Amino acid sequence: MPSIEIPDTVGWIRALTQSELVWLESPSHPLLEVADLISICGTPVDRRALVVVDNTFATPLLQKPLEMGADIVIHSATKFIGGHADLVAGVAVTREAEVRDALVRSRMLLGAVPGSIETFLALRGVRTLELRLTRGMDNACELASRLDDHERVKVVYSPGLPFHATHQMAKERMSGFGAVITFEFVGNAGETDDFIDRLGVISSATSLGGVESTIERRARWPGQAHLPPGLVRLSVGCEHIEDLWVDLAGAL
Ligand SMILES: Cc1ncc(COP(=O)(O)O)c(C=O)c1O
């Protein structure tokens, strides 16, 4: 089955009747679109599929897909849960005993059991999740509005901005807009790479959700060439807002 656009609620509901597993990311990567999980999971249809929601960008604090009817929630604990860019781990959460047993069994057979240092880092990280996320969201909200006013920025994608495609849905389904923003730099691929190279406080890196801000030009990856060459994803960390802005404004 082809991929479905995140705001296409009818398409997702149709997929529930035609597949064994429906996997969606909300907010999505990299345009941060928020799905109508309540309608997708709650519409009475002849549902065959398990619904798996990747909730990494929202974290367990901002969106609760199990309460909206999802069967499994996935988090890359590498990101906000770990929070310090020193962990690779994932979390799958379910309320269904049968699904849990199947997940535990495949984890055992495939050998994907986390080591004690990984579980220690994840548990240590989660203790400060709320503090880090609150600071990152405040910074992200301020940067989104400043970037939106900047002449070298074509468009900003942040669910917190009133003109974002799923702003209303984000307000209804989430208790905050998250600490990731995406924006399009006015320039070609090389000029966008040069902009990123000029940054000093913000590091160029693929991972996200850490205390330190990271940025990446998405179309540099194979399979992402459909995205505009100047589209960058910025994971906003806990630095001082003015340090971040001086860095961004100088590089822009
Ligand atoms: C939304 C989302 N889910 C899952 C993953 C996979 O995470 P990991 O690096 O822990 O394998 C990523 C990685 O970028 C991600 O962005």
pLDDT at 3: 82
Residue with tokens 């995140």: 6
pLDDT tens digits, 94-123: 999 999 999 999 999 998 899 999 999 999
Strand order in the sheet with 214-217: 153-157, 180-185, 231-235, 214-217, 203-204
Residue nearest to atom 9 of ligand 1 (CA): 78
Please report the atom of ligand 1 found closest to the CA of residue 77.
10
Ligand 1 center to 76 CA (angstroms): 5
pLDDT at 250: 98
pLDDT tens digits, 197-240: 999 999 999 999 999 999 999 999 988 889 999 999 999 999 99
pLDDT at 44: 86
Ligand 1 center to 1 CA (angstroms): 22
Q: Which domains does the chain have, with CATH numbers?
A: 9-126 (3.40.640.10), 129-251 (3.90.1150.10)
**Backbone conformation region of residue 83, classed left if phi is above 0, alpha if psi is from -120 to 50, else beta:** left
Residue numbers of the chain with a pLDDT score lower than 50? none
Residue 145 — φ and ψ, nearest 5°? Answer: -75, -35
pLDDT at 47: 87
Is 53 in contact with 73 (CB distance < 8 Å)?
Answer: yes
